[in-house]
Structure 1
Amino acid sequence: MGLLWGLIIGGLAGWIAGNLMKGQGFGLLGNIAVGLVGGFLGGLVFRLLGLAATGIIGSLVMSVVGAVLLLFIVGKIKGRR
């Protein structure tokens, strides 16, 4: 059941981050991938800042923050403004 929640949260986080950063999502698999990597990145950032995310909503917020950061970094590497 944890894997299913991870995929659902990853998909939602990727979709939200895609809408925030470039105005559209990346498709189902792209959203899940961005959200899962964003969740990992968000977890690292939250730990470095001494923050903790608990529950489904906390995991979603952490994943969205990480996914937005991921998309920002990728955009800078690709040279987009």
Structure 2
Amino acid sequence: MGFLAAIIVGGLAGWLAEQVMRSDMGFIMNIILGVVGALILSFVLSLFNIGVPAGAEFSWAYLLTGFVGACLLIFIARAVRR
């Protein structure tokens, strides 16, 4: 996925995760959570031979992976804070 597309999809995934998890973060943090969440979850899924298709500028699989990864990161951050 291209750099600009990763930022856009990551931002959308982070924003969706923010809405679902009822978190209050800024625009930049949404992008970071979406992109990092997608990278981490993609790595974990690759350990089980489950991959996100590459090559497309926009991928629903990448959006879903970023969303789930961002939700997990928000959950872990909340658990660590307490």
Q: Select the structure that is richer in helix.
A: 1
Aligned to 1:4: 4
Code of the aligned partner of 1:18 = E
Instruction: Report % sequence identity.
Output: 36
Code of the aligned partner of 2:15 = W
Aligned to 2:42: 43
Pairing 1:18–2:21 present? no
Tell me how far 1:6 sits from its aligned partner: 0.5
Aligned length: 78
After TM superposition, the score normalised by the length of structure 1 is: 0.83
Tell me how far 1:25 sits from its aligned partner: 5.1
In structure 1, list runs of 5 or more residues that go unmatched: none
Tell me how far 1:44 sits from its aligned partner: 1.9
Q: Relative contact order, CA 8 A, sep 6+: which one is greater?
A: 2
After TM superposition, the score normalised by the length of structure 2 is: 0.82
